[in-house]
Amino acid sequence: MKRTKRWALVLLGSSSVLLVPWTVVLALTLPTRTEVHNWSLAWIGLDVLMATGCAATAVLGLRGDARARLTASATASVALLDAWFDITTSAVGTALLEALGSAVAETGLAAACVFLALSKGRQSEPVPR
């Protein structure tokens, strides 16, 4: 294994260990309620990011470009984050039911993206037009 790659992996492993106490600190100190500025911009940005990831993955995948696996992986992460925040920020009742419905769709999208990210595909043969 290359030295740079090994150090990057050591850094990631160390980060995972350091994030445990940090998460405990956050759990003990963060307020349960807060006012959020630019709320709609945050949600719109997340959906634009997810749509862009879907489009990039589709275009790259249809061209047979191996980078589609990278965009698929990133898009899966964004879809799961969107689902998580939809559910955890929704009020009980109709809003939560809507969030759960959206989460089902977003989880399906994430699953499709993970499938594409893990598949070898035919990088040298683009899909015919």
- Residue tagged 């294994």 (tokens): 1
Write the pLDDT tens digit of every residue in 75-100.
Answer: 999 999 999 999 999 999 999 999 99
pLDDT, tens only, 19-72: 999 999 999 999 988 898 999 999 999 999 999 999 999 999 999 999 999 999
Judged by DSSP in three states, 111 sits in helix
Phi, psi of 128 (to 5 degrees): -65, 150
In the prediction, which pLDDT does 1 show?
82
Reduced to 3 states (helix: H, G, I; strand: E, B; else coil), residue 69 is helix
CA gap 76, 108 in Å, rounded:
9
Q: What is the pLDDT of residues 95-125, one digit of tens each?
A: 999 999 999 999 999 999 999 999 985 554 5
Query: Do residues 113 and 72 make contact, with C-beta atoms less than 8 angstroms apart?
Result: yes
In the block, tokens 């740079």 appear at 4
